[in-house]
A and B are shown apart, each in its own frame.
Chain A
Amino acid sequence: MQVHVDASDSRPIYVQIMDEVRRGLLMGTLRPEDPLPSVRELASGLRINPRTVLQAYAALEREGVVYVRRGQGTFVSPDVEPDEQERPRMALEVARRALTEAQRSGLALDDLLEAFRELSEESPESDGPEGGKV
């Protein structure tokens, strides 16, 4: 799983890490019982404060998404299902970004929707969770 964080994102970095894990679950790149990178690995890989990683993992643990095996690390919970509310939430997030960009370019919502329709006709296999080829 590749985790990306961005200091200029409006979300705090620990929230970005949590979202990346949720995204991994949704996309199927993270599955139950998969290990998460160690705090040391993730902190040094992303050049971020290890406390930020700890904060993200602790919050995910409280949500039941991951659990800690003593001395072995952090793992995805066995019974975790991709959160069905996660999909619309993420869609909303993407839509918000697109809309902001559109407004900045002086486009109306209808212009944007029309462009989406046109794009999805060009790549019909891209609608569906497994197709992600846009």
Chain B
Amino acid sequence: MSVARVTPILPVELGAGPFAISTKGLNKRYGSIQALAGLDLDVPEGGVYVLVGPNGAGKTTLLKVLMNLIRFDGGRARLLGLDTRKQGALVRAQVGSVPEDHSAGYEWMRIGRLLEHCSAYYPTWDQEYANRLAAKLEIDLTRRCAQLSKGQARRVQLLLALAHRPPVLLMDEPTDGLDHVARDGMLELLAEHLTDTPTTALISTHRVYEIEKLVDHVGMIRGGRLLAQMPTDVLRSRLRRYSAALPEGWQPNEKDPGGTLTRRAGLGRAMEWTVWGEEEKVVAELSGAGAHLQEITPLSVDDAATALLSTWET
């Protein structure tokens, strides 16, 4: 049940930077559809930034714009200080990408040959690392690209993204198609990769729980616009669930604490609020109103996104 009367003000500024990726007023229209509508987004250098938002929010469009695979209509986008529109080739050389679709390369090519082919494009290609990744991801180098399943193609894409140790990773649903074991292996690889290689990562996904512990920043977009971006620690401390037992004669609507996003009745006199705000203030408001607080818990990034995106007034 949504009760947000006054939408709380969420952070959109991440301080002074430096930012590896920065967009200002980015616009992109496909016919009558406004895919990006003045998007301002900043990814701090060295950050692992997860991008969440409903279908059609503009996540995939943004990732493609950043690699200059599609042109945008207005605004600007910078990646490592480069103008993505004017310096597209330079930008792509700095980026390891796991794209939205699962086509790994030329259909007739064997994976081993594909790796050789791609290695020629990147001066920083680390063949020894590529071999290790292939072993770890259980990639059969003798297969042809056309024979790959969705999950196998994802693994090849991941290898191609990591093996040249790029300063920036752009990943669109990187765990899509991976089984449990492969996904866990990928998370292990990513954690090692981030330790060994200074990397900024921008990851779009609908399943943040899979990568939640790797992520340190979150951005929420909808309708091509940024709703909020912040360090995940801020999200975890500011957005919480408060369960309480209510006193007799409670009139809920008047006594919801400021910043309430949702209120959910439990059994009998139990009530649960999802609130954006400082915990101390919220506790003081609820206690002051006579509620007997029982539990305060942070929300997972997925639950936070659901709470914020579903109550947000457009």
Give chain A's interface residues, CB within 8 Å of chain B.
Answer: 5, 7-8, 10, 12-13, 39-40, 43-52, 100, 103-104
Residues of B at the A interface (CB closer than 8 Å) are 46, 48, 184, 187-189, 191-192, 194-196, 209, 212-216, 233, 236-237, 294-298, 300
Residues in B with CB closer than 8 Å to A39 are 195
In the complex, the 3 A-B pairs of residues with the closest C-beta atoms, listed nearest first: A47-B187, A50-B195, A44-B191
- Which A residues touch B237, using CB under 8 A? 12
Decide: A100 and B195 in contact? CB cutoff 8 A: no
- The answer, among A8, A43, A100, for a CB contact under 8 Å with B295, is A100
Q: Main SS of the interface on chain B?
A: helix
Do residues A49 and B213 form an inter-chain contact, with CB atoms below 8 A? Answer: yes
Contact B191 A47 (CB under 8 A): yes
Alpha-carbon distance A43/B48, docked complex (angstroms): 14
**Taking chain A's interface residues, is the majority helix, strand, or loop, or is none over half, making it mixed?**
helix
Q: Name the B residues within 8 Å of A5 (CB-CB).
A: 213
User: Closest Cβ of chain B: how far from A71's Cβ, in Å?
Assistant: 16
CA distance A44 to B298 in the complex (A): 24
Contact status A10-B298, CB under 8 Å? yes
CB pair B195 A44 closer than 8 Å: yes
Of the A-B pairs whose beta carbons lie under 8 Å apart in the complex, a sample of 20, sorted by A's number, is A7-B209, A7-B212, A7-B300, A8-B297, A39-B195, A40-B195, A44-B189, A44-B195, A47-B187, A47-B188, A47-B214, A48-B213, A48-B214, A49-B48, A49-B215, A50-B195, A51-B46, A51-B194, A51-B216, A100-B295
Q: Which residues of A contact B46 (CB under 8 A)?
A: 51
Of A44, A47, A100, the most chain B CB neighbours within 10 A belong to: A47
Q: Are A49 and B297 in contact (CB under 8 A)?
A: no
B194 engages A49 (CB within 8 Å): yes
Chain A hits for B298, CB < 8 A:
8, 10
Given A7-B213, A8-B300, are A43 and B294 also a contact pair (CB < 8 Å)?
no
Q: What residues on A are CB-neighbors of B209 within 8 Å?
A: 7
Besides A7-B213, A39-B195, A51-B46, 20 more A-B contacts (Cβ < 8 Å) are: A8-B297, A10-B296, A43-B191, A43-B192, A44-B189, A44-B195, A47-B184, A47-B187, A47-B188, A48-B213, A48-B214, A49-B191, A49-B214, A50-B191, A50-B194, A51-B194, A100-B294, A100-B295, A103-B294, A104-B295
Are B300 and A52 closer than 8 Å at their CB atoms? Answer: no
B residues near A46, Cβ cutoff 8 Å: 191, 213
Complex CA gap A12/B213 in Å reads 10
